[in-house]
Chains A and B, each alone.
Chain A
Amino acid sequence: MLKDKEFWLVAGGISLAFIIYWIAGHPLLNEERIVMLLVVVVMSANLIYYTRFAKKGGEIFLRAIPGLKAVEEAVGRSTEMGKSVLYVPGIMDMDQVETVAGVIILGHVSKMTSRYETNLNVPVSRSIVMKAARETVREAYTMEGRPDLFQDDMVHYLTDDQFAYAAGVNGIMVREKPAACLYMGKFYAESLILAETGNSIGAIQIAGTASQSQIPFFVTACDYTLIGEEFFAASAYLSQSPELMGGLKGQDMMKAGVTATIILSLLMRMLFDLGLIEWNIISILTVQ
């Protein structure tokens, strides 16, 4: 762990600078939020460390995620059947991280569709998502050496309204009968409408979302579902890029840290409630 000298030098430098800043009176710093600042810095450092670790050739184990393995299978199925792949990147805008993650996965799916010469249909609900998704798909097709197959209309805008969008996508599904439907992004109540319609046309369905309340609907109606963090891990899994895999490892370490903090806080709070210590850990952990 101590092998990355550059990382530790920079981390040491930043820590020293912060200590000097603190001793100098820490002007302009909101003191009530210092714990959160330290948490953000430590978690970011953790991510950077593992990203560098992976880039330098460190081995990182990534468990198999069936939903992601099935993406290539779904595209292959569409190619064999001569039908299109329908990709729905959620109904929210690019200010939602889930939409961003959905557009990232779209890039990987586009590479597959360009390789297999399968039609790709991406109806979107927001104009900015349309632009970003179009650029992503265009780049993917270009990188695969098939810019001729890309058309602007592959990624098209329907409407901002939630249920009008669901109606539009349902109409596309029922008329064009895609062989594969991929739902990757942020969804609300329309998730079951989309998934059930996709089920009724016999398409293979893969969903990925961090919208907690919609996960059960996707699990029930789709063939594969990426739940929560699996969805955010998808870009690392599909690209096998060392940087992204390192980031995933960092994320897992953060989770271990959070778990340890929860257990420790529980014990310390118990001791406080029993009157054995005078220090209330909750007052420190409460974000102002």
Chain B
Amino acid sequence: MDKLFDLILKAGTVDRRWIFLVIGLAVLLPLFYPLGLPIRATIATQKVYDSVEALQDNSKVLVSFEYGPSTKPEIHPMAIGLLKHLFTNGHKVYVTCLWPDGQFMAEEALTEVAEKEFNLSYGEDYVLLGFRPGNEAVVKGMVSNIRKLYTTDARGTLVNNIPMMKNINKVADFDFIFSASAGYPGTVEWVQYASDPTGVPMSTGTTSIQVNDIMPMVNSGQVQGILAGMPGAAEYEALLGSPGIGTSGMDAQSIAHLVIVLFIVFGNITYFIEVQRSKKY
């Protein structure tokens, strides 16, 4: 038994690069050999889905892209899923970006969904207003007068010449807001300066780490549900019946989480052995 404990203690002092290797394999292997684990939507994800489903025909939806390449694996799948959902239900989509990287992400998402999958018409079914610097000043500016902030869209076309921008002058003219957010500025700013003051309902998708900050707003009803990180994206894809990158990443995330839990349990076993030995001696 002592020899076993010695072995465990020795393993416990392993160089952290071995831990990195194991985690790397735990993430890589399920990507090549998917397990196909079933995905069950949480109440928060269901609320987002139901809010979009409840929109009246031809609703005007403002979608804001606030993420970059680093958080793309978590948020891009939910942005793609949301766009599919909105276009399937025939809503008009207005895209804005509070992050400069967000415009690249928005271009990519719109090309994939609006152009290639749905073959929609730019300026009539969707429009990319683009990025404007100013953080929350942009949100405040949109609340009072969108046209003061956006004279042209991201492609250089005058906003006054875009058919679907007719009668859109401020945030209150939209029927729904969705913020795909990875930090600041993002969901909190949309709630504080746009959704709450104007009463336009909103929902959001964020990175897993941000869910803690946004959850009080979800519970108070200021935000209609939340897509929490890649699991949230996968759940939304499952509700849409359209599995994508989010779903394919979940096997890897499941195994990685399990491996981390096993490491924690192992670490505690070594800790208990050390404590027992120090008590003994």
**Complex: A in contact with B (CB within 8 Å):** yes
Contact, CB under 8 Å: B70 / A162: yes
Among B154-197, those with CB < 8 Å from A are 183-184, 197
A191: nearest chain-B partner, CB-CB:
B209
Name A's interface SS: helix
B183: nearest chain-A partner, CB-CB:
A188
Q: Is there a chain A Cβ closer than 8 Å to B276's Cβ? A: no
- Given A162-B70, A288-B197, check contact A92 B184 (CB 8 Å): yes
Instruction: Give the total of A residues in contact with B, Cβ under 8 Å.
Output: 9
Contact, CB under 8 Å: B70 / A189: yes
B69: nearest chain-A partner, CB-CB:
A163
C-alpha gap A188/B185 in the complex (Å)? 12
Q: Is there a chain A Cβ closer than 8 Å to B212's Cβ? A: yes
State how many angstroms separate the Cβ of B210 from the closest Cβ of chain A: 6
State how many angstroms separate the Cβ of A280 from the closest Cβ of chain B: 16
Of the candidates A92, A189, A212, the one whose C-beta lies within 8 Å of that of B213 is A212
C-alpha gap A154/B213 in the complex (Å)? 35
A288 partner residues in chain B, CB cutoff 8 A: 197
Contact, CB under 8 Å: B197 / A189: no
Contact, CB under 8 Å: A213 / B70: no
B212 partner residues in chain A, CB cutoff 8 A: 212-213
State how many angstroms separate the Cβ of B99 from the closest Cβ of chain A: 11
A188: nearest chain-B partner, CB-CB:
B183
A211: nearest chain-B partner, CB-CB:
B213
Q: What 0/1 pattern do residues 146 to 186 of A give for CB contact below 8 A with B?
A: 00000000000000001100000000000000000000000
C-alpha gap A162/B213 in the complex (Å)? 20
C-alpha gap A288/B197 in the complex (Å)? 6
Among A197-239, those with CB < 8 Å from B are 200, 212-213
State how many angstroms separate the Cβ of A125 from the closest Cβ of chain B: 13
B183 partner residues in chain A, CB cutoff 8 A: 188-189
C-alpha gap A288/B209 in the complex (Å)? 29
Binding site for A on B (CB under 8 A): 16, 70-71, 183-184, 197, 207, 209-210, 212-213
Known interface pairs A189-B183, A200-B16, A288-B197; 4 further A-B residue pairs with C-beta atoms within 8 A, sorted by A's residue number: A163-B70, A189-B207, A212-B213, A213-B213
In the complex, 11 of the A-B residue pairs with CB atoms within 8 angstroms, ordered by the A residue number, are A163-B70, A188-B183, A188-B184, A189-B70, A189-B71, A189-B183, A212-B212, A213-B209, A213-B210, A213-B212, A288-B197
Binding site for B on A (CB under 8 A): 92, 162-163, 188-189, 200, 212-213, 288
